Amino acid sequence: MPEAPKNTLKPSDYNLAEKNKRSLQFIEDVTSNSDEVQKRVLEEILSRNAHVEYLQRHGLNGQTNRETFKKVMPVITYDDIQTDINRIANGDASPILCSNPISEFLTSSGTSGGERKLMPTIEEELGRRSLLYSLLMPVMSQFVPGLEKGKGMYFLFIKSEAKTPGGLVARPVLTSYYKSTHFKDRPYDPYTNYTSPNETILCPDSYQSMYSQMLCGLCQHEEVLRVGAVFASGFIRAIRFLEKYWKFLANDIRTGMIDPQITDPSIRDAVMKILKPDAKAC
């Protein structure tokens, strides 16, 4: 399996062209011979999980070849393994679906069936998720030059989370990512140079989060090159928020003081490091 590119550089020694080259080469390596790569990945998964209950139940018996896997393992739906998932959620730590300990549950939106589904995940999956996210901008930069310049005014939010009876956290995938060290302690990367401090993104109060992210973005408007959100609906919500609260935001920029409705201490501290009186900008 080709080695995924690593990012451990500091701003002083950052070589964007070299990093993008490594990322694009990684994509080329894993897609140019995708059949062989998928075969090796499947073998590794089956080898590492040979003793788990689910595979044993279907009679795989430690086999790691693709042909046997396709022959004995059924195509399933969520309902087929819901009993296993419920066991994990209720605290059963035995290797039911995976040899690695389940670190948390990722939740679906619930839009298809009216009820959120629980998807067990493991700690190392966060690294793979972070790698996937890191490949987006190198690909886009081939077609849109200059994306590394300036800052990104992106509206990023967390959602509520819960705990299962067994004590595992259940939350949406992006909330899991934003709360992880992969995001909070991310190394320097011009593509993730956001106008929003982490504290504003991680605030569970949606109004305070949106207000403070909007305020920080407006304060740094001369540096902003790109704007957006993960979902189009989130960006539309930001535009409507600006239409509704622009007078409050303008007053904060004019006076250099954040609105008293923003009460989260960590947000106030983070915003005040950016906010300065600027009557001209209003």
pLDDT in tens, the chain (282 residues): 455 555 555 555 579 999 999 999 999 999 999 999 999 999 999 999 999 999 999 999 999 999 999 999 999 999 999 999 999 999 999 999 999 999 999 999 766 667 889 999 999 999 999 999 999 999 999 999 999 999 999 999 999 999 999 999 999 999 999 999 999 999 889 999 999 999 999 999 999 999 999 999 999 999 999 999 999 999 999 999 999 999 999 999 999 999 999 999 999 999 999 999 987 777
CB atoms within 10 A of CB 52: 18
**What tokens appear for 185 in the block?**
């302690």
157 and 218 in a single domain? The answer is yes
> Are 159 and 206 part of one and the same domain?
yes
Q: Is residue 190 part of a domain?
A: yes
pLDDT at 278: 86
Do 212 and 252 share a structural domain? yes
- Residue 8 is predicted with a pLDDT of 54
Closest CA to 187 of 4, 5, 11, 21: 11
- Residue of 247, 249, 245 whose CA lies nearest to 275: 249
Does residue 77 form part of some domain? yes
The total number of structural domains that make up the chain = 2
- Residues 28, 120, single domain; the answer is yes
Do 53 and 159 have their domain in common?
A: no
The reply to whether 62 and 19 lie within a common domain is: yes
Q: Are residues 18 and 85 in the same domain?
A: yes
Please tell me the predicted confidence (pLDDT) of residue 6: 58
Is 41 in the same domain as 84? yes
Domain match, 123 and 34 both: yes
Q: Is 186 helix (H, G, I), strand (E, B) or coil?
A: coil
Q: Is residue 171 part of a domain?
A: yes
Answer for the pair 162, 242: CB distance below 8 angstroms, yes or no: no
Look at residue 36 and give its three-state secondary structure. helix
State the pLDDT at residue 109.
Answer: 79
In a domain, residue 67? The reply is yes
List, in order, residues 6 or more apart from 50 with CB less than 8 Å away: 60, 62, 64
Structural domain span for residue 74: 11-127
